[in-house]
Amino acid sequence: MKSTPLTQKHIDLGAKMTDFAGYNMPLQYTSVSDEHLMVRRSAGIFDVSHMGEFIIKGKEALDLIQLVTSNDASVLEIGQAQYSCLPNESGGIVDDLLVYRLTEDQCSEGERAYMLVVNASNIEKDLAWINNHNKFSTRVIDISDQTGLLALQGPAALEILQRHTEIDLKSIKYYSFQKGVVAGCDNVIVSATGYTGAGGFEIYAANESMIKIWDCLFSDASSDTMVPAGLGSRDTLRLEMGYCLYGNDINDQTSPLEAGLGWITKLKKTDFIGKNHLLQQKEEGVVKKLVGFWTDDRRVPRQGYIVENKEGASIGIVTSGTFSPSLNHPIGMGYVEVTFSKPDTEIYFVAGRKKIKARITKFPFLKT
């Protein structure tokens, strides 16, 4: 099992550790609910150094990215990022990812540079996929093992981080980033992105800088202001916002159109992998759709539970579910036949011998 630069910190803090994508990661420190609510109310910091990072660099770097991703990276200015996915030939999703357009100060004339941030469980698969389609004058460099990543999330994140950097954090717009010094460490990317819907920043730095940045952030932050947070609360936070988790809500067999990700699927751009299949799917209409639902019952919907209509016919399947600490009732996501996807439609998820009534609702569950 792999470690991040901060693994021993988590162990020393008494975190409950778990194997996630081959990494020894903190699941929780106190309770998932407490960590979740601290992120919503103030701030929490996540070690997500297990994520993968690739540098795409060269005169045809944009051409490669346009071919393998669904979104339109040509609109990115230096210092901007976008959410996208890697579609396969049949319109399924190889992975979802972030695309960053980097500065060109270390590029040769005519070159561009980008950073792709991919899911930890898909690093090898994504790297092979991109390399197999790299017919361009472009280098693909895997920097995952040299790069650490912290997610400082919550309404107090800006105030906490600003004490440790001269970067004007207020000037960083959503899905934009700046590079500078954080906690005395150089070449740090501070990005106004995150997976919680609570606001905040993601901090990319060399592995050797991670302990110093972590310690500095905690040096003047009280436990009432910021707490370390684990993968458990990261999952409940993203679920309240209706954010997809690869391997649960999206995979190689689900299309971005079925998953409600049409907004990152630019079918008018130059040809990209899977485009023809997705064009056909859009013209014909999808037969299943990813929806959110909630229940007043205390039983939590679990991945794999069958979804039925009022007559008891199977109409779909649960992909994610949790008890929402913010809303104080269970919520879930899953695919259902389009006929049953309208908000307020009554459905049932089958938990063993019991059928739990639920209702379809719009994303996000938590209205901010």
Residue 295 sits in the same domain as residue 340: yes
In a domain, 105, yes or no: yes
In a domain, 192, yes or no: yes
Task: Report the domain count for the chain.
Answer: 3
In a domain, 116, yes or no: yes
Q: Which residues contact 201 (CB under 8 A, 6 or more apart)?
A: 151, 152, 153, 157, 158, 161, 169, 172, 190, 191, 192, 193, 194
Residue 94 sits in the same domain as residue 210: no
Residue 134 sits in the same domain as residue 166: no
Mean pLDDT, each 10-residue run in order, the chain (368 residues): 97 97 97 98 98 97 98 98 98 98 87 97 98 96 98 98 98 98 98 98 98 96 94 98 98 98 96 97 97 96 97 97 97 98 97 95 91
In a domain, 249, yes or no: no
Residue 37 sits in the same domain as residue 156: yes
pLDDT of res. 246 = 98
Sheet bearing 147-153, strands edge to edge: 177-182, 185-191, 200-206, 147-153, 44-47, 227-228
Residue 36 sits in the same domain as residue 164: yes
**H helices present in 180-304, as ranges:** 210-219, 231-240, 275-284
What pTM was estimated for this model as a whole?
A: 0.97
Residue 57 sits in the same domain as residue 115: yes
pLDDT of res. 108 = 83
Residue 171 sits in the same domain as residue 218: yes
Do residues 54 and 143 lie in contact, with contact meaning Cβ atoms separated by under 8 Å?
yes
User: What CA–CA distance (Å, rounded) separates 164 from 185?
Assistant: 10
Residue 64 sits in the same domain as residue 133: yes
Asked if residue 228 has a cis previous peptide bond (ω within 30° of 0), the answer is no
Residue 62 sits in the same domain as residue 136: yes
pLDDT of res. 237 = 98
Q: Which residues contact 88 (CB under 8 A, 6 or more apart)?
A: 94, 252, 273, 274
Q: Which is nearest to 356 in space by CA: 325, 327, 329?
A: 329
Q: Which of 145, 172, 193 is the last residue of a domain?
A: 145
Do residues 303 and 247 lie in contact, with contact meaning Cβ atoms separated by under 8 Å?
no
53 burial level (CB within 10 Å; 0-12, 13-18, 19+): buried
pLDDT of res. 109 = 85
Residue type for 333, please? M
Q: Which domain holds residue 341?
A: 287-361
In a domain, 277, yes or no: no
pLDDT of res. 221 = 87
DSSP E strand stretches across the chain:
16-20, 23-28, 44-47, 52-58, 81-87, 93-101, 112-118, 138-142, 147-153, 177-182, 185-191, 200-206, 227-228, 288-294, 306-308, 314-324, 329-337, 346-351, 354-361
CATH of the domain at 131: 3.30.70.1400
H or E element at residue 65: helix 61-68
Structure token digits, residue 168: 């004007």
CATH of the domain at 36: 3.30.1360.120
Residue 356 sits in the same domain as residue 311: yes
Residue 134 sits in the same domain as residue 65: yes
pLDDT of res. 355 = 96
In a domain, 170, yes or no: yes
Q: Which is nearest to 318 in space by CA: 286, 342, 351, 343?
A: 351
User: What CA–CA distance (Å, rounded) separates 5 from 25?
Assistant: 11
**Residue at token pair 């990115």:** 76
CATH of the domain at 310: 2.40.30.110
Residue 181 sits in the same domain as residue 129: no
pLDDT of res. 82 = 98
Do residues 115 and 55 lie in contact, with contact meaning Cβ atoms separated by under 8 Å?
yes
Neighbours of 368 (CB within 10 A): 10
Q: Which of 145, 172, 187 is the last residue of a domain?
A: 145
**Residue at token pair 């996000």:** 364
Q: Note the Cα 338 to chain centre separation in Å.
A: 25
pLDDT of res. 110 = 85
User: What CA–CA distance (Å, rounded) separates 260 from 244?
Assistant: 10
Q: Which of 219, 240, 261 is the last residue of a domain?
A: 240
pLDDT of res. 28 = 98
In a domain, 367, yes or no: no
Provide the 3-class DSSP secondary structure of residue 47: strand
